[in-house]
């Protein structure tokens, strides 16, 4: 399928049924969702997705087209009461997916979901939604592996990218995020679930005035693990919570938790909107292990020092680089830190 920039069309005006059963997917130009909730004819059952691709191997979608979810009525309904809102574009069990060059605006909920896909190349996407729009994630990934997302711009009301249960070998390179809630691992372990995420690599990304930056979030009482995660070469522009591990995402108490380990933050630099730039708040029973921060250089907007706080960490290290004191051939100085350290 190819989508190109051009005239705007409402497919319902041209005979599309939009009932989730009739095949009427040959579309070009800008794809516009109905303006009101009643206009969405998504077939029987719950409203899960507007445009869906399932079990298509080698699917290629590219071009300069636009998908407009016209989400405002859904957001208003959500603020007034709970409502099951649809994802704009869903890929399920689509191996070797190629997706490039599209603009997605104002989805009712998350813009793109990737579920049970192996091997995806995603690039040059642009997401636009107001920063107050609820749950308008850019891309949500679950039960998927070998996914590469690169060179994209994400301006959303929630996570720019959320990496959820069952995700392995996910690479995110050259993504601009802001506004939004950053790039998140999780949330994991809700309602006591066993969730796993591993081999995640995030590099050369920018967080501009985001609510969070590089985030890992898990629920108390969950099970499983989040491990082998790297955030490298990260630029911050007035970001709130630039580096955060939150294993207290809910207020309940439990002896069980998702285990967080082998996480690296390397060359994270820029400005924080708050002096409290790094929060590593881990579960009181399991804690976090092997958390490494290297080459961290974060100041406040006013140029003042920031600080880091740690709770329930084991084998957590802050590696400081001072080229005036250390020869370039030497390894960085490594110091363990507890509770609160200046960055």
**Residue 242 within a domain:** yes
Domain count for the chain: 1
In a domain, 148, yes or no: yes
pLDDT value at 37 more than 50: yes
Is 3 among the domain residues? no
Range of the domain at 130: 8-342
Range with the largest mean pLDDT of 35-44, 63-72, 74-83, 148-157: 148-157
Residue 326 is predicted with a pLDDT of 28
The encoded tokens of residue 138 equal 């850019």
CATH of the domain at 37: 2.160.20.10
What are the structure tokens assigned to 97, written together? Answer: 């997916």
Residue 185 inside a domain? The answer is: yes
Backbone angles phi, psi at 192, to 5 degrees: 75, 15
Q: Strand 333-336 to strand 161-163: parallel, antiparallel, or no bridges (unpaired)? A: unpaired
pLDDT at 338 over 50: no
More confident position, 28 or 54: 54
Q: How many CB atoms lie within 10 A of CB 185?
A: 29
Q: Is the pLDDT of residue 128 over 60?
A: yes
pLDDT greater than 90 at residue 165: yes
Res 282: pLDDT: 92
pLDDT at 168: 99
What is the arithmetic mean of pLDDT over 198-213? 99
pLDDT tier at 249, thresholds 50, 70, 90 = confident
Q: Rounded to an integer, what distance in angstroms lies between the CA atom of residue 101 and that of residue 50? A: 19
**Is residue 231 situated within a structural domain?**
yes
pTM (predicted TM-score) = 0.85
Catalogue the active-site residues.
181
Beta pairing, strands 183-188 & 313-320: unpaired
In a domain, 79, yes or no: yes
Residue 2 in domain:
no
Residue 117: inside a domain: yes
The pLDDT of residue 318 is above 80? no
């Amino acid at each position: 399928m190819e989508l190109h920039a051009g005239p705007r069309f409402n497919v319902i005006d041209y005979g599309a049924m939009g009932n989730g059963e009739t095949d009427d997917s040959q579309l070009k130009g800008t794809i516009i969702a109905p303006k009101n909730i009643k206009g969405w004819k998504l077939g029987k059952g719950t409203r899960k997705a507007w445009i869906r691709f399932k079990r298509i191997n080698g699917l290629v979608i590219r071009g300069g087209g636009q998908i407009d979810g016209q989400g405002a009525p859904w957001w208003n309904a959500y603020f007034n009461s709970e409502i099951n809102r649809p994802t704009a574009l869903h890929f399920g069990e689509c191996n070797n997916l190629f997706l490039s060059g599209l603009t997605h605006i104002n989805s009712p909920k998350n813009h793109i979901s990737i579920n049970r896909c192996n091997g995806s190349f995603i690039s040059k996407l642009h997401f636009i939604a107001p920063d107050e729009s609820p749950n308008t994630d850019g891309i949500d990934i679950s039960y998927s592996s070998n996914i590469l997302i690169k060179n994209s711009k994400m301006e959303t009301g929630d996570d720019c990218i959320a990496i959820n249960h069952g995700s392995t070998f996910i690479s995110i390179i050259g993504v601009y995020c802001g506004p939004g809630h950053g790039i998140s691992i999780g949330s994991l372990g809700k309602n006591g679930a066993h969730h796993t995420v591993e081999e995640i690599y995030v590099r050369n990304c920018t967080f501009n005035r985001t609510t969070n930056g590089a985030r890992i979030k898990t629920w108390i009482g969950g099970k499983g693990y989040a491990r082998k995660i790297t955030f490298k070469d990260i630029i911050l522009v007035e970001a709130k919570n630039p580096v955060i591990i939150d294993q207290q995402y809910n207020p309940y108490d439990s002896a069980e938790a998702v285990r967080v380990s082998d996480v690296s933050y390397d060359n994270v630099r820029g400005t924080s909107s708050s002096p409290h730039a790094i929060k590593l708040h881990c579960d009181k029973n399991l804690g976090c292990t092997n958390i490494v921060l290297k080459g961290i250089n974060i100041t406040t907007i006013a140029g003042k020092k920031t600080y880091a706080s740690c709770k329930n960490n084991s084998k957590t290290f802050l590696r400081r680089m001072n080229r005036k004191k250390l020869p370039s051939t030497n390894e960085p100085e490594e110091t363990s830190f507890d509770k609160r350290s200046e960055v």
